[in-house]
Structure 1
């Protein structure tokens, strides 16, 4: 049985749904909220697929042993590692073409999930769990903060050039470390800097999700945030693994 309090609750829910994500929002809030929900739904499916594939690789030792102990396995692993980058090229052209965009996104996600699983295959389960928990807490906290800040008029678009430059330096430093290993301390520093950079990217890409991505760019919004989360997890995993070994 409905009463005034019940109608008041419905009115409050409708008011909250119409509330803009950020001040001076020119578009319909309902459309933007729908876009945000769609992107996070896709990311959730990507993360579930990553967990499933990663668990398969970790739980079936012959798979990881094949890729690490045989020449053919190493060659296949290198090929799989390049698949996500190769997939981004056609995805840039077909990101609005259904269902091709979803097929390419699935290939991108599964291949990247396979490399994540191989990264976890020879890592203690306790460390993996710690990295997962840390990643989840950081991602949720930064996402909530960015939505809160955006609703109060804060803008994080200025982070783009700084994060790009920092990421470029991080990649170069990573290649140097592969050629000239600098020990566990440099690995720890590398991981900490990487974690900070990808935390910044989570804030930056979430801000873009709220304000700048158009409705037909949901694939790119999903890919960007998914990569931020995966890279943050891998850097935290590297830090914890180095701390355990050190």
Structure 2
């Protein structure tokens, strides 16, 4: 009825400034409105009073944020030492970050990094063989001109001082490329130095070939091509590691140089043929080692930035093999 509804409406009449709802069963009523924000105590749920009249259940590990900022221990009746519990104060765990190409122990994988990247290594090998092909074409073009053109052959045989000039230029170029890493890695200075070296070496090889018969030169070129092609293919396919023998070959080179000085003193044709045969064999081994340095899967390897140095090594090996084979055939035929 209307009388009962009026009675129910007037059962609870809040005092002015008091906006708290009735208390829960078994708990005292505490005003939690805006008027009590500076009054320490508890709210209707048994927790500390907070600004703004927001009830806070008891048992929280840390005072929650308020409308005026994060909760501050000790303010408005909040505990100074918040209780500890499972998960309290722990930072969220995140998986560790590793750069691309690096595994979970800090090592770089074989797929994404530097020297072991197969695509980079293949591009490096192609670049080296392209540069080497250009060098050999220039050199054997000089050899053909100095061998088949009689005017050029007579000129270089009369003016032998040009050989010394070209040798000096070659020596300076080798020192610059071998000792100055900033030059051989910087484009276009590395290609300029390699071009100067190739031209000077080509002149010297052509001048040496001009003192031999045409048949001897052609035969030496053919044998050199077959030997070098076989050694390169074998070095690329075999599982034997020739790079571990680099120190032994260097000692053999020192011995060969001393043997060459002996041949200068003792002028004997047989001794010169033996010396030329040992030299061709030694530089054939050097060609196998320098070829495997390109692969990157042996004990020693070259950086992909060293394509000029790699091309220089292969070029000098092939030219030395050609000169020693030319000396063998020339001494054997008495030319």
Give the TM bin, normalised by the shorter chain: 0.7 to 0.9
| Bigger fraction of residues in helix | 1
2:295 alignment partner, SS class: helix
Q: Is the 8 A contact 1:195 1:235 kept in 2?
A: yes
Aligned position for 1:170: 256
Q: Is the 8 A contact 1:49 1:113 kept in 2?
A: yes
Aligned position for 2:155: 66
Aligned position for 1:47: 136
Aligned position for 1:117: 206
Whose Rg is larger? Answer: 2
2:294 alignment partner, SS class: helix
| Shift in Å, 1:176 | 2.7
Aligned position for 2:272: 187
- Pairwise mapping of residues 96-175 of structure 1 onto structure 2 (< 5 A)? 96-149=185-238, 152=239, 154-175=240-261
| Shift in Å, 1:25 | 6.0
Q: Is the 8 A contact 2:147 2:214 kept in 1?
A: no
Q: Is the 8 A contact 1:54 1:120 kept in 2?
A: yes
Q: Is the 8 A contact 2:276 2:328 kept in 1?
A: yes
Could you tell me which of 284, 292, 299 is aligned with 1:199?
284
Q: Is the 8 A contact 1:120 1:128 kept in 2?
A: yes
- Looking at structure 1, the residues matched to 228 and 203 of structure 2 have their Cα atoms a distance apart, in angstroms, of 22
Flag the 1:58–1:102 CA change in 2: closer, same or farther, 3 A.
same
- Looking at structure 1, the residues matched to 128 and 229 of structure 2 have their Cα atoms a distance apart, in angstroms, of 15
- Looking at structure 1, the residues matched to 224 and 286 of structure 2 have their Cα atoms a distance apart, in angstroms, of 14
- Pairwise mapping of residues 13-92 of structure 1 onto structure 2 (< 5 A)? 27-69=116-158, 73-92=159-178
- Looking at structure 2, the residues matched to 170 and 225 of structure 1 have their Cα atoms a distance apart, in angstroms, of 19
| Shift in Å, 1:222 | 0.2
| Shift in Å, 1:158 | 2.1
Q: Is the 8 A contact 2:283 2:317 kept in 1?
A: yes
| Shift in Å, 1:66 | 3.4
- Looking at structure 2, the residues matched to 237 and 74 of structure 1 have their Cα atoms a distance apart, in angstroms, of 19
| Shift in Å, 1:95 | 0.3
